[in-house]
Structure 1
């Protein structure tokens, strides 16, 4: 099995894990569907140029912020923050399953996972 397929499988399992925990906490799947693509708004930075686009895209698609929010949601017992962080993580895992990784400044198609055709 190629390494790229193994990486995709890992992210698919992480996505499915996110969906499981979303279901486990009994959150509305309507919100899940409606908000799943919200982090892609960070692509608007590409209107300016690839450097600004990559910066904002990477903020919206890095695991750091949603994991910090996940921790805060448990500490503060905030169910809405927990819901949002799980959806955000699910989005990132789904993107990475499809091969869309963090972006380099040179081009939208050059990611840390692969060169997108």
Structure 2
């Protein structure tokens, strides 16, 4: 094995699609800032904290897709945990000038940021622990 191959092996993720090292750390810090930002904006909009607490874990209901199978579970979970979904809700909120939709969007974004900060990423169909932020065997 030559030195180039050894270098590539040292920096290649253990599994394709896994984020590791400083990039993974950066993504988790980014998620923390997104969560904090969403909470600050929610507070600035005078959001009701009881509603925040009540709805914060609602996106986790998307895990129920795993009752069908891993492929459906991953797809449903990813819809509930991608920033695209609350982004669409925010656009509806803007189009309808609806403060409740702004609040729901911010709670949803805060939830996603919280999950990503903890290392829970978008899922692959290979298993619940297989995410864009790492795989079961490398969740640290």
TM-score, scaled to structure 2: 0.79
Alignment of 1:33-112 (within 5 A): 33-112=53-132
- State the structure with more CA Rg: 2
Structure 2: give runs of 5+ residues left out of the alignment. 1-20
1:23 to partner: Cα distance: 0.1
Q: Deviations over 1:33-91 (max 9, x none)?
A: 11100000000011111111101101111111210111221221101111111111111
Q: Separation in 1 of the partners of 2:91 and 2:69?
A: 33
Instruction: Could you list the structure 1 runs, at least 4 aligned residues long, displaced by more than 4 angstroms after superposition.
Output: none
Structure 1: give runs of 5+ residues left out of the alignment. none
SS at match of 2:39: helix
1:13 is matched with: 33
Q: Separation in 2 of the partners of 1:72 and 1:58?
A: 20
Equivalent residue pairs, number: 117
Q: Separation in 1 of the partners of 2:75 and 2:24?
A: 24
What value does the CA root-mean-square deviation take over the aligned residues? 1.3
SS at match of 2:78: helix
